[in-house]
Structure 1
Amino acid sequence: MPEPLSLLLPVWAGDRPDFLADAFRSTVDEQTRRPDQVVIVRDGPVDARLAARIDELAAASPVPVEIVALERNVGLGPALDAGLEACAHPIVARMDADDISLPHRFAVQLPIIEAGADLVGSGLIEFGDHGGEELGRRTPPTDPAGIAARARFADPFNHPTVVYRRDLVRSVGGYTDFALMEDYLLWAKLIIAGARVANVAEPLVKYRVGAGAYARRGGLAQLRAELAIQRRFRRLGFTTRAQYVRNVLVRGGYRLVPVGLRRMAYRSLIAGYGAGDRARRPTRRGGAG
């Protein structure tokens, strides 16, 4: 039986109004199977143009929109947890404020959830800020065993593509405030809890990339986040001692090498680029990569 869907979309002061409009319309108005509710989390104050665009999108939306306005910028994890509390439906889909969903995204993913999965992601297409040229593709592992194995070394899901069971996510504590790695930690907790996981290899989201992403994946802040997530995984029993040592050496070292080498390592070892990748110049904000 079809189940209702809430769309969870965080927005913060750094987002562009035109990109937000494209993200919203592609994931709501243009879907062949639309969400039944949209929850926009405004993570702290935004300027007048962005606030006006949020209000315009909510007013014109073909489905109900709830705006969760946080008084201060709390970061992605806590903002998503606040948004989850406002999601009225048992299935939740994630979307970022500068990406684009393909029209059949939910028509593909929701039947998999309705058939018994708890968490479903997909492949994605990277494209640049200026124009829609494809820059590369990330193809995740698709079967549960492959996802579980991948998760011990790298994030097995493309976060902006995922659809999941709200109550299961809340039962493991949600995202929490684990900056730069909140999604990766959540997937690990779900796998430990026995979640039924899946990915669709087909790219269902276009992921916007901008200047500086490989630079932002390195540096001391990213190294500290990397070491913290590896320590947490070890305490949870998610990784073995050997896996912990490997990850600290390989992933920790990746945070410290020059940007050119980091780009090569990310594409060949960590991100899971598919055969369709043309090895151009994707660059964007950091994350669990």
Structure 2
Amino acid sequence: MAAGLRRGPRSNGAVLAEAGWSHLGRDDAEEAPAPPAEPQPFSLLLSTYGGDTPEFLRLAFTSTVQEQTRRPDEVVLVQDGPVPPELAETIADLAATSPVPVKHVVMEDNVGLGPALDRGLEACAHEIVARMDSDDVSRPDRFERQLPLVEAGADIVGSGLYEFGSGVDDVVGRRTPPTDPGTIRRVIRFRDPFNHPTVVYRRSAVLAAGGYTDMALMEDYLLFTRMVEAGARPANVAEPLVYYRVGAGAYARRGGRELLRSELALQRRFRELGITSRGEYLRNVAVRGGYRLVPESVRKVAYRRLLANRGVRTGG
């Protein structure tokens, strides 16, 4: 798989142009620093918990560390609560055989993804931090493509992704995010323009926005919105750089009363922070809240057409 996806390095200019930085406004262009002569070090932040599948975690780790054309300088692996023996053995083996240092951060109790990632951020040694989920797969050139944008001045950089079922050859969907910074700033009040498992960000920008906090199921969207609203410079690479595992029941999990409660809590928080107007709040509650309650078959179609940004052109 990896061999078929490798490609030669591309210039920073080509990567920045794809992400929409070739047509920034003059003020943005004047503020954007030149790419540094030397690559900057970065941390990989990954969280796992007792429900994870050991072989999925191994594939996520190896694809994002060993198989990268540009490897992270450290891995911060957060263990969110107790894990079964087989998963514990996998974690120990990955840490022992990793070509880069691994910090194994163990949480005594299962606290959830947001608080676990906040704890992991505290342990990261570097300003630039890349995220990865424990059951997804990175393309070998992922960081080679994303890091130049952060090094050129972006505070958060995501990418497109492929959704897959039984294996990466079983691609069932594609999410293409907006790449123009102005478009990202516009749409973020209605939908998340970043695919969380793909993002690379500046640790200082995350902490300045308050970290992940404890907004169950919506922690990433709240964080990214607060970052952008606070002035963080956004960018995306349109091309899929991560394979996202969907599996059975993926669309069922995007609905239901629990997720509706989280959605409504998120929209209330947006309104309290002054991120959305009253009209935007009512629109979001009606559209996004309604999406959580419709039948799974309808939700799947709506997700493909509206929320996953499928088919969105580069530049938004």
TM-score by length of 2: 0.86
Residue in 2 that maps onto 1:62: 99
- Unaligned 5+ segments in structure 2 are 1-37
The residue type paired with residue 164 of structure 1 is: Y
| Equivalent position to 2:233, from 190, 196, 202 | 196
> Which residue pairs with 1:257 in the alignment?
294
Q: Quick check: 1:108 aligned with 2:119?
A: no
Q: What do residues 84-117 of structure 1 show as CA deviations (whole Å, max 9, x unaligned)?
A: 0000011000000110100000001001000000
After superposition, the CA RMSD in angstroms is 1.2
Correspondence 1:205 to 2:242: yes
> Could you tell me which amino acid in structure 2 is paired with residue 203 of structure 1?
P
Runs of 4+ off more than 6 Å: none
User: Does 46-55 or 124-133 show the bigger shift?
Assistant: 124-133
Contact persistence 2:49–2:81 (CA under 8 A): yes
Q: Which residue of 2 aligns with 1:248?
A: 285
In structure 1, the residue matched to 2:309 is 272
**What do the CA deviations read for 1:41-80 (whole angstroms, capped 9, x no partner)?**
0000000000000000000000000000000100000000
CA radius of gyration, larger in: 2
TM-score between both structures, scaled by the size of structure 1: 0.93
1:152 is displaced (CA, Å) by 1.1
Q: Number of matched residues?
A: 276
| Structure 1: gaps spanning 5 or more residues | 277-289
Listed as ranges, the matches of 1:49-198 within 5 Å are 49-130=86-167, 132-198=169-235
Q: Give secondary structure in 2 for the equivalent of 1:247.
A: helix
Partner of 2:275, secondary structure, is coil
- CA shift for structure 1 position 274: 2.5
Looking at structure 2, the residues matched to 8 and 36 of structure 1 have their Cα atoms a distance apart, in angstroms, of 11
Deviation track 1:105-156 (CA, whole Å, cap 9, x = no partner) reads: 0001001000000000000011113562111110000011111111111111
Same amino acid, percent of matched pairs: 67
Contact 2:70 2:144 in 1 (8 A): yes
Give the equivalent residue in structure 2 for 1:217: 254
Cross-structure match for 2:61 = 24
Amino acid aligned to 2:245:
R
Where does residue 8 of structure 1 map in the other structure?
Answer: 45
**1:18-45 alpha-carbon deviations (Å, 9 max, x no partner):** 1111100000001000000000000000
Task: Supply the distance in 2 between the matched residues of 1:121 and 1:184 (Cα, whole angstroms).
Answer: 13
Secondary structure at the counterpart of residue 255 of structure 1: helix
